[in-house]
Amino acid sequence: MYKELLLFPEVLKGQQIYPEDARSLVAKACDGRSIDPAIFARGPDGKTLQGRYGDDRKGEGFGLPPSIIFDGGNGFIRIYGIGKSGTDLLAEHTASIVTALSKHLGGPYRMEFKHGDCELQMSEPILYSIRKLIVSKKPAKLSHFFGVTAQERAPEIKKEILNGLISMARWLDEDLGTPHLLEHGIPSDDSLILDILEGESVPIPIKPGIPAAAFKNITFCTNISLNGPWMAGKLRSRGYGLIRRRIER
């Protein structure tokens, strides 16, 4: 399940708002206000929440997904609450976020609410895209990903996408009390299709002078049907890694 809050400030009309922009705008608007830091995947001490599944040393280690996902579009900000935890958190703080943004951006704006289910199941192959997928934050590994194509680093990119789907499916199953329902929709290794078709490397600044390794405009094909918001890669709480179904023109 998910809840979706869409905000259309007049001042943003005609501007393309990317997910990381949406998070930044909301964070600036809420600065100094009594809004639960979990909205931004932070704990009471201000530090980023770092929950994980598995153990990297045993070959299965990946971070828990955020319960709040930021997105945007042409002239609007979108905020998703994921699972029961995320929908409750978003509902509790919607009024505060709306008030904060109104004062920060000024002017009138309208808002909409939507809701739906995060669904995952095996299907015929489908094309998806990711605008920016962060694959590493470790300085020692950055050079491995710079100046290469997505196809040249396909194994690492496939791992990030698959781990992202597994972690979100597992987290949603636990949060909603539906053991393995979504996670079991992911095909086993011998029946999984996950082909990386396009994408190019790009450094993403995450701190002054410190970049993360990422790939932009990833296109991939997989035999997994996704409905609702799904994410992959590192720094998902900052808006990176949102998976969209590719629409052919």
pTM over 0.75: yes
Residue 58 is predicted with a pLDDT of 63
- Copy the structure tokens of residue 78: 């979108």
Give the whole-angstrom CA distance, residue 183 versus residue 147: 34
Write the CATH number of the domain with boundaries 120-245.
3.30.70
Question: Phi and psi for 154 in degrees, rounded to 5?
Answer: -55, -45
Query: Could you tell me if 129 and 217 are in contact, meaning their C-beta atoms sit under 8 angstroms apart?
Result: yes
**124, 185, 193, 194 from 190: Cα distances, Å:** 15, 14, 9, 11
Contacts 24+ apart (CB under 8 A), 152-155: 153/201, 153/215, 154/195, 154/196
Question: In a structure prediction context, what are the per-residue pLDDT tens digits for the chain, which is 249 residues long?
Answer: 999 999 999 999 999 999 999 999 999 999 988 899 999 999 888 888 888 887 766 666 788 899 999 999 999 999 999 999 999 999 999 999 999 999 999 877 899 999 999 999 999 999 999 999 999 988 888 889 988 999 999 999 999 999 999 999 999 999 999 888 999 999 998 999 999 999 999 999 888 888 999 999 999 999 999 999 999 999 999 999 999 998 754
Which sequence spans correspond to the domains of the chain? 2-116, 120-245
